[in-house]
Chains A and B, each alone.
Chain A
């Protein structure tokens, strides 16, 4: 006797959802307008790809490339260092089940980034790492390792330890056991974690603003400073914004199921 959703409520829900999404739609549409048509809110306009052509040929492409390189590399490093750590936390039978170490990792997520950024800036200045891709990649790797540890731990915990043991008795090395048994069983965890890191790093603003200027600046920084540098080019700005928001939005749309467990860091088994 499942209570049905009445058609009236269905229509209401669709209207609410559409209204909520409307600013994003408006941004995407504005990116296809000529600058002269921008202040006219009419939907009848002659669409143009002129801004997109500029994005992929001009200097904005440089920032897009920075975003891609820095997000890709940092995600890779954070996984490469964080996954073994969380595997060890679950499987190595540490004191107290590794809980103390685990909660130490979590406590670093609670630390507001403002309380580390000043010394990091001073040290980076000293080491010539300001406005340097490597510097930002290092910071992003470090601040995301605890997130990897937190999330992957919850997935590794679901794997019966006996399975790993059994494969080792059959003669498989720790390494082989990981790739044959553990990885296939936790691949949803891997994709959820990678998805979350890509979204976080791609959108990151705080560290990028403090530690880069132009050479290593990412898209969020370029967009934030765009209007002051280039004046009131709304359509161009909307086109760049659309390029900047599409990757994380598409990834999020496709992976809605894994998102819940990912966003709650595995605290909820979605």
Chain B
């Protein structure tokens, strides 16, 4: 017995290296970011010495129209993408969860975009697909004798959303498919015998049983889509103007293109607060879902 307790104490120390390294890279920089956000510190302006300015940057941000535009862009990009991914994911999962000849190939083709790095998606779509005079979509437009619109200049945020949706729908499909496969066949059969029609069956029986899976896919989708950066960087660089700048790219523009460390840091801190508020709501739901899955 004594031996066992000793063993447990020893095992406890196995968590230490992980705790130290994770704290070094997440907690300490977070505190430093808060600290930096209180200083005027512009790397490219050595003539302006580092100076404590308090909450000035926060005040300025809240009263700048640029900040609110970026805030709006982030919300639009995130929620439009999440909603579309969920709807498309449910439809695809319903089509593909059963076995039939060719389903393996269809699934393999459909999940592929998920594995592709953002920089390839962005560079390839901007140049080869959407390029206004030689891109592939230009030929398709021409074939139907439309004039090809300059999508990236006219509706940059929409194009980025489409790319996010293209990449993330397979993830939703995979998770929801696992959910559908976990519903016992008899339950769906019973609904058929009852004579309920398809839509009714999906809405009243299948969707409620999928709730856990929907929550998990939304939660993880939210975490990842809020971080969208590579796609913005490689398609529009946040432009024209600030039309397609989201929060992560706003920090990059301010701190790494404008070298304004203080302002960049204060934006980063606002992002943490907003993200955590959004995620906390869904996190509660996820914690419940995990506990239920393990019960």
Contact = CB atoms under 8 A, between A and B. Distances in A.
Interface of A: 1-5, 9-10, 13-14, 16-18, 20-21, 23-24, 26-27, 30, 38-39, 41, 81-82, 84-85, 87-89, 91-94, 101, 103, 105, 108-123, 138-139, 141-143, 145-146, 149, 154, 157, 174, 199, 202-203, 205-206, 209-210, 219-221, 223-224, 226-227, 232, 234, 237-238, 241, 244-245, 248-249, 251-253, 256, 259-260, 263-265, 267-270
Contact of A203 (B117, B264, B283): B117
A64 B146 CA distance: 41
Contact of B287 (A24, A87, A103, A154): A103
17 contacts: A10-B101, A21-B113, A26-B129, A115-B269, A116-B25, A116-B33, A118-B29, A118-B251, A120-B29, A202-B117, A205-B117, A219-B117, A227-B123, A227-B127, A256-B111, A267-B289, A267-B293
A27 B171 CA distance: 22
Given A81-B21, A146-B22, A263 B118 contact: no
A41 B227 contact: no
A245 B11 contact: no
A252 B115 contact: yes
B25 A142 contact: yes
Contacts of B32: 118-119, 122
B148 to A, nearest CB: 13
B145 interface: no
| Interface hub of A30, A149, A237, A260 (most chain B Cβ within 10 A) | A260
Contacts of A123: 29
B136 A205 contact: no
Contacts of A138: 25
B116 A245 contact: yes
B129 A23 contact: yes
Contact of A223 (B7, B100, B120, B229): B120
B142 to A, nearest CB: 10
B293 A226 contact: no
A10 B271 contact: no
Interface of B: 7-8, 10-15, 17-19, 21-22, 24-30, 32-33, 36, 92, 95-96, 98, 100-103, 105-120, 122-125, 127-129, 134, 136, 139, 166, 171, 174-175, 177-179, 185, 189, 192, 212-213, 216-217, 220, 223, 226-227, 229-230, 233-234, 247-248, 251-252, 255-256, 261, 264-265, 268-269, 271-272, 275-276, 279, 283, 286-287, 289-290, 293-294
B22 A108 contact: yes
A92 B175 contact: no
Contacts of B290: 267
B229 A174 contact: no
Given A224-B233, A260-B174, A260-B175, A18 B127 contact: no
DSSP majority for the B interface? helix
B193 to A, nearest CB: 8
Given A118-B36, A174-B7, A206-B229, A234 B127 contact: yes
Nearest to A251: B115
Given A16-B92, A87-B11, A118-B255, 7 more contacts: A5-B98, A17-B105, A122-B261, A139-B25, A157-B294, A232-B127, A265-B220
| Interface hub of A114, A220, A267 (most chain B Cβ within 10 A) | A114
A147 B245 CA distance: 28
A120 B27 CA distance: 11
Contacts of A199: 115
A110 B279 contact: yes
| Interface hub of A16, A93, A105, A116 (most chain B Cβ within 10 A) | A116
B137 to A, nearest CB: 10
Contact of B113 (A20, A120, A146, A202): A20
Given A110-B279, A116-B33, A92 B12 contact: yes
Contact of B227 (A3, A103, A113, A154): A113
B213 A268 contact: yes
Contacts of A143: 25-26
B227 A241 contact: no
B112 A24 contact: yes
A116 to B, nearest CB: 4
A116 B255 CA distance: 12
B36 A259 contact: no
Given A85-B18, A115-B269, A119-B32, A263 B171 contact: yes
Contact of B179 (A87, A121, A203, A268): A268
A23 B124 CA distance: 9
Contacts of B96: 13
B25 A263 contact: no
A3 B95 contact: no
Nearest to B171: A263
B230 A206 contact: yes
Contacts of B19: 85, 101
Given A220-B119, A264-B216, A118 B268 contact: yes
Nearest to A203: B117
B201 to A, nearest CB: 10
Contacts of B272: 111-112, 115
